[in-house]
Structure 1
Amino acid sequence: MTASRSGGTGALLIHGLGGTQFDLGPMHKALRRAGVETHAVTLPGHAGTPEDLIPVRAEQWLETVTQAYDELAGQYETFHVLGMCMGALLALALAERRQHRKGRLIALAAPVYIDGWSTPWYRALRHVVYHIPTLPARMRVDEDEPYGIKNDLVRAIVKAKFERGDNFHYRWVPLACIRQVDRLRSWVLRGAHRIACPTLVVHAREDELTSLRSADFLEATVSDVRKVVVENSYHMICVDNDREQVVASVLEFLGFDPARARRRARATVEVPMSAEAVATVVNEYLQALTGGQFEALFPLLEPNVQWRHNGEHPLAGTYDDRDAVIGMFAKLEALAGKTVRIAATAPPRIEGTTASIDLAASSVIDGQVRQGQGTQTLQLRNGRIASVTFRPAGDAVAAAEPVPAAPAA
C-alpha cells in the first residue's frame, strides 16, 4: 500500500483469486485520473506459487483487507471499497463486517454462485471431495481457455503471458483453496442484507464462472444497490470488451465524470520511426513467429493491419484486420496443432520502415507434411506493423506435393 494524505478521496481495490492487480485492468489509473488515491493489497497465498494457497483460510483473506481498511479509511474524507471476482466477495464481506458508510462499494463479477456456462455439471461434487483427507490439497483447478476473456486479442496476450510464465496470475489453484472461496461465498449469502452503503454491482451476461444469478441476488438483497449488466464480455470484465463501460459505470457511480479519467487518444498523424525502433519491432515479431509464440505477435500489429498470404497454402488469402489475422492463426492451430515450425533463413533486411524476412516453414496437416519457403515483407507505421505480405519462393515450392508424415514414435 502507498502512503496517503489526510482528507480527499481514497479507495481500496481488491484483486481476485490467484490474481494480481492485472485483474482490475485500467481501474487504478482511471480512478487516479479522477482524483482518487488508490490502494492495493496482496492477498495471503498470492505473489508466489499456487502451492502457497494450500494452507490459506478465508479468514486470513478477510483479515488482510480488514486491516488495510482500518489503516486507510480514517485518512480520507471519503473512502470507497472495490473488488473483482473473489475480491468482490471480500469487499462485500468487509463492508458488512465494518458497516462501511464512509464511501461506496463496488462488486465486479462477484461469484456469489459458481454456476457459469463453463462450470462442469458435476461441480457440486467438490463439496464431497473436500472431506477426503489430503485430496483437496493435491487436486488442481486449472485456469484454461477462454481465461475469462471474450476479446480475442486480450485472450491471446494472456495466453502468451501464461506460456512465458509471467507472474501475473496463477495458472492453477488447489481445490483446497476453492473450499475457502465457498466459505467466503456463504458469508456473503448470509450477511449481504446487512450491507449499509450504496453498492454498485457489475456483471457480464455471458460470465462463464458465475451467472447473472449472483448479480440478481445482490440486487434483491442489498438495501441500496445499482446493477449494471455488460453484454460483450466473459468473467474478466475489467480487461475484456466492455472494460471502458465498466470503468465509466464505476466513475459515474462514485460521482465522477468519466471523461476526466479517459485516456487521451493517440495522435492520428504518422510519427516517424527511428531505425532502432523499426529493428526492435521486427526482432520481436521474428522472435514470436519463429518461437511459435504467435499470441505475442498480435499486439505488434495495427488493428487494421493488412495481411496477405500468397500461394497454395490452406491459409492463403487476404486478412483485412487484426481480428481476422488472429482467426487465421487459430485456424492454423486447428489444422496443424503444435507441428508448425518456422525459421528465418537469413537476417531480416530492413530499409526505412520496410523489412523483408526469408522464411522456411513446415507443418503436418491431415497427416501430410507440408514444407515451403518464401519471403514476408513487413510495412511498419507508428510503432506497429501495418501490413504483412508473404510470397512463396517460387511456383515449384508453392505447388509442391505434400509429403506423407512419418508415423508417430
Structure 2
Amino acid sequence: MPSVLILHGLSSHPVLTVGPLPEVLRQAGYQIAQPTLPGHGTRPEDLKGVRWQDWYRVALEAYRSLPSPKAVVGLSMGGLLAAKIAAEEAPQALVAMVPALGFVNKTAYLAPYLSWAIPIAKGTASVRDAERKAKSPNYPWMPTEAVAELVKLQREVDPLLPKVKAPALVLQARHDSTIPEASVRRYYQRLGSAHKQYKVYDSEHDLLLDSEADKVAADIRDWLQGILPV
C-alpha cells in the first residue's frame, strides 16, 4: 500500500488545518501519517524554544516509519520540510502547497535579529471565506523566535531544491497574503524534478481550509494516483 506523509505549517493545527485531504487519501487507499510538529496543536507559547531542526526531526521520523512507495505532502512550512526530505530521502512524489520560501511581509526576514525586542508576531489572515475564517484553528499569534526559525529553514532548504528529483506538484493560492507568488514560483523553478506541475487556486494561504479545499484535496489525490497508483 502506498503511503503519504502530510506536514502542516507554522502555527497551524496539525489535524484541522489539512482539512479534507487525509480522509480523501485514505478513501483512495493510501496509508497516512500526520505528525504533530513540536509546539503545535496546544498553545502559541509552546513554540518558544523550538528549533527548525526539531520540526524536521519529527517529520523525518514519521516519514521513515511509513512503508514504501511513499509521497510527502507539505503545507507552507511543511512544504519546506517536505522538500528537505525529498532532497535527502528520495521519496516517490512531492506535493508542496504554498511552500513558505519567502514572505509578503518583508519585516519577517528580520525576525532572527528582532525577536528579543519584539517577542510576539501576529498570526496571518490565511482564510478568505468569512465563515471558514471564523473557524480557523490556527494560533492567533506566535513567538517571533518561531518566525526566526522559519527564516533559518528557508535558508537551509533553498539550496537543496535542485537536488529534489521526485515528481512534484506545487500549488499556489492566488490571494495569498502570507507567501508571495514569486517565492512559490522560485520553489517550483528550482526543483530538480524532471516531471513537475504547477497549479493555482482562487484561495487564501490555507488552501485546505478555504472555499476550494475539496477541489485541492481531490486534485492532490488524482495527481498522486498517477504517480503512486493504489
TM-score by length of 2: 0.90
Alignment partners' CA distance in 2, 1:199 and 1:85: 15
Match of 1:151 among 126, 129, 149: 129
Q: How far off its partner does 1:206 sit?
A: 1.4
Q: Does 1:128 align with 2:113?
A: yes
Aligned to 1:215: 184
Q: CA RMSD in A?
A: 1.7
Q: How far off its partner does 1:205 sit?
A: 1.7
Q: Which amino acid aligns with 1:49?
A: R
Q: Does 1:226 align with 2:208?
A: no
Match of 2:25 among 28, 31, 35: 31
Go from structure 1 to structure 2 and tell me whether the alpha carbon gap of 1:95 and 1:55 turns closer, same or farther (over 3 Å shift): same
Alignment partners' CA distance in 1, 2:186 and 2:192: 11
Q: How far off its partner does 1:142 sit?
A: 1.8
Aligned to 2:4: 11
Check the 8 A contact 1:82/1:107 in 2, yes or no. Answer: yes
Match of 1:245 among 215, 219, 225: 215
Q: CA deviation digits over 1:30-71, x for unaligned, max 9?
A: 101111111110111123321221111111111111111112
* Structure 2: unaligned runs, 5 residues or longer: none
Check the 8 A contact 1:88/1:106 in 2, yes or no. Answer: yes
* Structure 1: unaligned runs, 5 residues or longer: 1-7, 159-167, 257-409
Aligned with 1:235: secondary structure?
Answer: coil
Alignment partners' CA distance in 2, 1:52 and 1:125: 22
Q: Which amino acid aligns with 1:220?
A: Q
Alignment partners' CA distance in 2, 1:127 and 1:67: 27
Q: Which amino acid aligns with 1:109?
A: V
Alignment partners' CA distance in 2, 1:219 and 1:52: 32
Alignment partners' CA distance in 1, 2:225 and 2:147: 35
Question: Higher Cα Rg: structure 1 or 2?
Answer: 1
Aligned to 1:94: 85
Alignment partners' CA distance in 1, 2:63 and 2:75: 16
Check the 8 A contact 2:126/2:204 in 1, yes or no. Answer: yes
Which is richer in strand?
1
Q: CA deviation digits over 1:270-306, x for unaligned, max 9?
A: xxxxxxxxxxxxxxxxxxxxxxxxxxxxxxxxxxxxx
Q: How far off its partner does 1:122 sit?
A: 4.0
TM-score by length of 1: 0.52
Q: How far off its partner does 1:238 sit?
A: 0.8
Q: Which amino acid aligns with 1:215?
A: V
Q: Does 1:141 align with 2:121?
A: yes
Q: Which amino acid aligns with 2:117?
A: L
Aligned to 2:167: 198
Check the 8 A contact 1:96/1:196 in 2, yes or no. Answer: yes
Q: CA deviation digits over 1:310-366, x for unaligned, max 9?
A: xxxxxxxxxxxxxxxxxxxxxxxxxxxxxxxxxxxxxxxxxxxxxxxxxxxxxxxxx
Alignment partners' CA distance in 1, 2:107 and 2:184: 23
Q: How far off its partner does 1:123 sit?
A: 4.1
Count of residue pairs brought into register by the alignment = 223
Go from structure 1 to structure 2 and tell me whether the alpha carbon gap of 1:141 and 1:48 turns closer, same or farther (over 3 Å shift): same
Q: Which amino acid aligns with 2:48?
A: I
Q: Which amino acid aligns with 1:9?
A: P
Check the 8 A contact 1:23/1:84 in 2, yes or no. Answer: no
**Residues 1-400 of structure 1: pairs in structure 2 closer than 5 A:** 8-20=1-13, 21-72=15-66, 75-76=67-68, 78-98=69-89, 100-101=90-91, 103-115=92-104, 119=105, 122-130=107-115, 134-135=116-117, 139-143=119-123, 147-158=125-136, 168-224=137-193, 225-230=196-201, 232-255=202-225
Q: How far off its partner does 1:244 sit?
A: 2.5
Aligned with 2:179: secondary structure?
Answer: coil
Sequence identity, in percent? 25
Q: CA deviation digits over 1:114-159, x for unaligned, max 9?
A: 12xxx3x6444434314xxx435xx111225xx311112211333x
Aligned with 2:218: secondary structure?
Answer: helix
Alignment partners' CA distance in 1, 2:100 and 2:78: 10
Check the 8 A contact 1:205/1:211 in 2, yes or no. Answer: no
Check the 8 A contact 1:92/1:105 in 2, yes or no. Answer: yes
Q: How far off its partner does 1:215 sit?
A: 2.1
Check the 8 A contact 1:154/1:239 in 2, yes or no. Answer: yes
Q: Which amino acid aligns with 2:212?
A: D
Alignment partners' CA distance in 2, 1:169 and 1:205: 20
Aligned with 1:234: secondary structure?
Answer: coil
